[in-house]
Amino acid sequence: MIKNKIKGCIISLSSQLGHLGAYNRSVYCTTKFGLEGLTKSMAMDLGKYGIRVNTVSPTKTIINQEERYNTKKRLNLIRKKIPLKKFSTTKQIASIVYFLTTNSALSITGTSIISDGGWTAGK
């Protein structure tokens, strides 16, 4: 992008667990915290070239309807921790990514949009 003088955005997918810890998730959280830090540093380095860098950090996202039935007990335990009591869908996450590519988001860089139904609000 720099070499070709292309202004634009880089968007990574992270996780709410890039913002707080979790039991038995040390490696996963480490990678997500790293991605959040990389986003901030890259935003500072690339801003002068007109390149914005952000992450989208969802909580559990339902990929397909089969998942709702095969892991119902686990999903119910997770849902109890979400104030809105619902999971994101892939379309909702894609909408956030799309928003970050539009002119409405031209001043947004170096941050993460957390789509977790309020999970991290009380942490």
28 is catalytic: yes
Please check whether residue 122 is in contact with residue 65, taking contact to mean a CB–CB distance below 8 angstroms. no
Q: How many independent structural domains does the chain possess?
A: 1
Is the full-model pTM beyond 0.75?
yes
Print the domain residue range for 79: 8-115
DSSP tag of 23: T
- Has 49 been annotated as catalytic? no
Residue at 2 is within a domain: no
pLDDT the model gives residue 68: 65
**29 in any annotated domain:** yes
Residue in 105, 104, 109 with CA at minimum distance from that of residue 42: 109
- Summarised one tens digit per residue, pLDDT across range 58-108 is 998 877 777 666 677 888 888 898 999 988 889 999 999 999 999 999 999
Specify if 121 maps to a domain: no
Q: What backbone torsions phi and psi does residue 81 show, to the nearest 5 degrees?
A: -85, -5
Question: Is residue 103 one of the residues assigned to a domain?
Answer: yes
User: To the nearest whole number, what is the mean pLDDT of the chain?
Assistant: 92
Calpha distance 92→81 (Å, rounded) = 20
- 62: in domain: yes
CATH number where 92 lies: 3.40.50.720
Any domain includes 110? yes
Of the listed 3, 7, 23, 32, which one is catalytic? 32
Question: DSSP for 45-103?
Answer: HHGGGTEEEEEEEESSEE--HHHHHHTHHHHHHHHTT-TT---EEHHHHHHHHHHHTSG
Confidence band (pLDDT; 50, 70, 90) for 123?
Answer: confident
Using DSSP's 3-state secondary structure scheme, residue 112 falls into strand
- The amino acid at residue 123 is K
Determine which one of 7, 28, 72, 98 is catalytic: 28
